[in-house]
Amino acid sequence: MNVQTAEEFLTEIQKKAERGELLYIGKELKRIDDLEKVLGSPIYTNDLIPRNTLYARLVLSKYPHAIIKNISVSKAINYPGVRYVLTHKDVPGLNESSTIIPDRPLFAFNKVRSTGDIIAAVIAEKPNRAQEAAELVEVEYEQLKPVFDPVEAMKPDAPKIHDDGNIIKHVKVRKGDVEKGFQQADYIIENTFRTQHQDAAPMETETAFAVQRGEKILIIGSMQTPHHVQAAVAKVLGWTLDRIEVIQAVTGGAFGPKSDEPPYDVASIAALGAIKTGKPVLMSMTREESMIAHTKRHPAIITHKTGVKADGKLTASKVQIVLDGGAYASLGVLVIVRATFHANGPYEIPNVWNDGYKVYTNNTYTGSFRGFGAPQAIFAAESQMDEIAKKLNIDPLDLRLINMLRPGSKTSTGQLMDESCGLPECLDAVVKASDYRKKKKLYSKQDGKIRRGIGIAMLHHGNALGPEGNDYAYVHLSVEKSGKIHLGTGLTEFGTGAISGLAQIAASVLGVPIDYFTIDRPNTLVHHETGPTVASRVTVIGGNAARDAALKLKQKVLPVASKVMGCKVEDVQIVDGYVYCKEKKAKSLSWEELVKEAYEANIELNALGYYMAPSCKWDEETGLGSPYNQYTFGAAIAEVEVDTETGLYKVLNYYVAFDVGKAINPKSVRGQLYGGTVQGLGYAMMEELVHREGYVVNPNLKDYYIPTSLDIPEQIQTFIIEKQGSMGPFGAKIVAEPPVVLPGPTIRNAIMDAVGKGVNSLPITSEKVYKIIKG
């Protein structure tokens, strides 16, 4: 092996730097936060509790809609091992546990609106004692007439679930003249699509631990947004924020519900319990509690009416989306916004009329979940495309090629697509890889019992918050004397690797290898309030803040290097942990030496990075404008094999391409493509949290099926397309959520290709496939 001299090494990295090559961007670096995970170290909330901890269990409503006449805890409180029973009477501040609309009490007191409503929490020495005592809490109810169908709930004479009507939010898109568009059409196609309750089922349930420390309370928990949890607990306790320290423990999966209201519940209950008993309290939902009492993906009823010319050009699209919001508004108020803005799919359509409604029912409440309204909207839009293609007797691929968004086209809200629209490249990648045209022809000539089919779906996905709130982030960098760099932010990691990606971005700007970085645990008393960790926005919004922090830090160390090495500041370069002057390559410092010099020169080595996305402009009444700063694009193709005698089918191959602008860590991006696809496969094929008359029938992982390793296709071929966006660092776009969207419509369309008819509701069970074949 050739041993490189220091000078050769420096020449090499300098050449790389001159070529603009990024040393840590676009590289499949190892994550810097997973060593403890593979060792099984104690890092999750449940692992960190002291021995004298008490345990809380929930008492949930027995009815979906009822007046509470009386709550008696006397039997429960006297049960062996029980220390306290919390009810609404124990709330010193506001009995409220809500994100946007204050419609949900922490503890139900005058009425219950779903079987997921929390009435009390039993605190005991052991979890099973708490569980047994929870059964002894006596609640007297007077049942009210419930309503479970969201369309029924919209009618003026439907039972009222809250004081006002049941329509929580109505979102509109009005573009062009939709009636004129239908008149111009040669065909009008109308269909209704339905989707189901999906449970996020993160492997770790909602969990929080609390202990009182003097005037303060410390909360450690599993969550996406610690600062929101802090504010929620402050409201319940009636305390100021500075007395509430919330630390996000390593979080065992989240997927959305942990950004919504459930973490407020567990944190508030643990905090109240700790205050009442004087002992540390753990509120860790059982799987059953979680699957009943946390937010799920909204079921949707979506009607499409589309006008199309004989040549395949779309002239008009009218879409109505009704989301079953369950008993409370939650972040679902924003879910309907994203669903309505994406309702027509990634197509240029001159005339659009969309109505989106989020509606109260007496089902358990629904809210934030990976995709945030897009899985429902795109399932309907992309299924409708194949129905249109069938009517016109043209290839679904050609229909898409005629109408899809490209640079220069305009979305349903009239937003102009710039050069960063990589949808054509995504489609091309999966069409080529799957050999679509050839297989389509081949499969059209089948007549046996076992038939194959191939289907396409694609999407556009508005990046980050857009209409969902102020899109800002803080990232803090500070350097120890040893040279180690701490990255601290209120943004959180819950599996994706995005925070490790922030370190890659900061490393790249600073010129210091990622190994020097360590990620501090998010803490509300240490880190700035930095908005929610939702909408896959860490890389794009947090990434810009990380870049800003690294630039600021660099401005602090460059003058030190200049002084020590005796060259101009602008001639100092830091590459791969080495500091040198452009003209005097032989003389160099290591990062550690530079940091030591800075410490000795009394230079404070920390920097607060900040980024706020440009504000998005759109009209509330018409939806017209640019609700998002940039878009991610994706396309997928599935091949299925259907047994036409039984309806049994399997996905043979799956191809997926995403335009992610710039993959900061391609390995992590693929991890999201795989994981999102398989979660979407569950949504498409098997997952349904069944509600019967307001009761969850299958709140466990035995009867609620999530995909196992035997349910996944042989392989998923992934393609990363990079059409740099205008907003993210290095042109990055978001990626974590949208892969979950495509399996539903892709598989549906592939089955339609195989058997001639499509299933218009999720999940696509074999029974449904059998029925469309036979019926």
Partner 1 sequence: MAQMLVKLNVNGIEREVLVDPDDRLLDVLRDEFGYKSVKEGCGTGDCGLCTVLMDGKPVLSCIVPAFQAKNHKIVTLEGLNNDPLMKKIQDQFRAHQAAQCGFCTPAMEIMGWHLLNKKKEPNKQEIKEAISGTLCRCTGYYDIIDAIYDAGRPE
**Residues at the contact surface with partner 1, assessed by CB under 8 A:** 30-31, 34-44, 46-47, 51, 126, 128, 200-205, 250-255, 286-287, 494-497, 667-668, 671, 674-679, 700-702, 706-710, 712, 715-716
SS (H, E, C) 626-673: ECCCCEEEEEEEEEEEEECCCCCEEEEEEEEEEECCCCCCHHHHHHHH
Q: Closer to partner 1 at the Cβ: 445 or 702?
A: 702
161 burial type by CB count under 10 A (0-12 exposed, 13-18 middle, 19+ buried): buried
- Partners of residue 454 on adjacent β-strands: 639
Which residue's entry shows tokens 């979950």?
740
CB of 31 to partner 1, least distance (A): 6
Q: Closer to partner 1 at the Cβ: 159 or 666?
A: 666
Distance in angstroms (rounded) separating the CA atoms of residues 71 and 69: 7
CB of 669 to partner 1, least distance (A): 10
Q: Closer to partner 1 at the Cβ: 494 or 591?
A: 494
Residues 6+ away with beta carbon under 8 Å from 577: 511, 512, 513, 516, 590, 591
* Residues 285, 264 contacting (CB under 8 angstroms): no
CB of 57 to partner 1, least distance (A): 12
Q: Closer to partner 1 at the Cβ: 28 or 398?
A: 28
Q: What is the strand order of the sheet 351-359 is part of?
A: 167-175, 351-359, 314-324, 300-308, 187-195
Query: Which of 170, 373, 357, 169 minimizes the C-alpha distance to 256?
Result: 373
CB of 714 to partner 1, least distance (A): 9
Task: Indicate the DSSP class of residue 257.
Answer: G
CB of 702 to partner 1, least distance (A): 5
Residues 6+ away with beta carbon under 8 Å from 160: 166
CB of 730 to partner 1, least distance (A): 20
Q: Closer to partner 1 at the Cβ: 605 or 681?
A: 681
CB of 319 to partner 1, least distance (A): 30
Count CA atoms within 13 Å of residue 712 on its CB side.
15
Residues 6+ away with beta carbon under 8 Å from 459: 342, 345, 346, 374, 378, 382, 633, 634, 635, 738, 741, 742
Rounded-to-10 torsion of CA 602, 606, 612, 613 = 110
Distance in angstroms (rounded) separating the CA atoms of residues 51 and 173: 56
Burial 104-143 (b: 16+ CB within 10 A, else e): bbbbbeebbbbbbbbbbbbbbbeeebbbbbbebbebebee
CB of 33 to partner 1, least distance (A): 9
CB of 58 to partner 1, least distance (A): 14
Q: Closer to partner 1 at the Cβ: 717 or 765?
A: 717
CB of 248 to partner 1, least distance (A): 13
SS3 564: helix
Rounded-to-10 torsion of CA 723, 727, 728, 733 = -50
Query: 456 phi and psi, to 5 degrees?
Result: -120, 150
Q: Closer to partner 1 at the Cβ: 179 or 520?
A: 520
CB of 743 to partner 1, least distance (A): 11
- DSSP-assigned states of every residue in 375-415: HHHHHHHHHHHHHHHHHHTS-HHHHHHHHB--TT-B-TT-P
Q: Closer to partner 1 at the Cβ: 6 or 35?
A: 35
Q: Closer to partner 1 at the Cβ: 671 or 729?
A: 671
Which residue's entry shows tokens 């989240």?
254
Q: Closer to partner 1 at the Cβ: 244 or 716?
A: 716
Q: Rounded to 5 degrees, what angle do the CA atoms 209, 699, 280 make?
A: 10
Q: Closer to partner 1 at the Cβ: 129 or 476?
A: 129
Single-letter amino acid code for the residue at 83: R
CB of 86 to partner 1, least distance (A): 22
Cα dihedral sign, 584-586-587-589: positive
Q: Closer to partner 1 at the Cβ: 251 or 746?
A: 251
CB of 708 to partner 1, least distance (A): 5
CB of 98 to partner 1, least distance (A): 26
Residue 313 CA, distance from chain mean position:
33
Query: 436 phi and psi, to 5 degrees?
Result: -55, -50
Distance in angstroms (rounded) separating the CA atoms of residues 645 and 382: 27
CB of 141 to partner 1, least distance (A): 28
Q: Closer to partner 1 at the Cβ: 345 or 367?
A: 367
Single-letter amino acid code for the residue at 486: H
CB of 463 to partner 1, least distance (A): 22
SS (H, E, C) 67-115: EEEEEECHHHHCCCCEEEEECHHHCCCCCCCCCCCCCCCCCCCCEECCC
Distance in angstroms (rounded) separating the CA atoms of residues 30 and 43: 19
* Residues 120, 85 contacting (CB under 8 angstroms): yes
Give helix 743-755 / helix 666-685 axis angle, nearest 10°. 50
CB of 607 to partner 1, least distance (A): 28
Task: Indicate the DSSP class of residue 245.
Answer: E
Query: 118 phi and psi, to 5 degrees?
Result: -90, 125
Q: Closer to partner 1 at the Cβ: 3 or 710?
A: 710
Q: Closer to partner 1 at the Cβ: 498 or 546?
A: 498
Q: Closer to partner 1 at the Cβ: 491 or 624?
A: 491
CB of 34 to partner 1, least distance (A): 5
Q: Closer to partner 1 at the Cβ: 609 or 707?
A: 707
Q: Closer to partner 1 at the Cβ: 580 or 655?
A: 655
Distance in angstroms (rounded) separating the CA atoms of residues 596 and 564: 11
Distance in angstroms (rounded) separating the CA atoms of residues 275 and 218: 11
Q: What is the strand order of the sheet 281-284 is part of?
A: 82-86, 118-124, 54-60, 281-284, 207-213, 216-221, 244-248
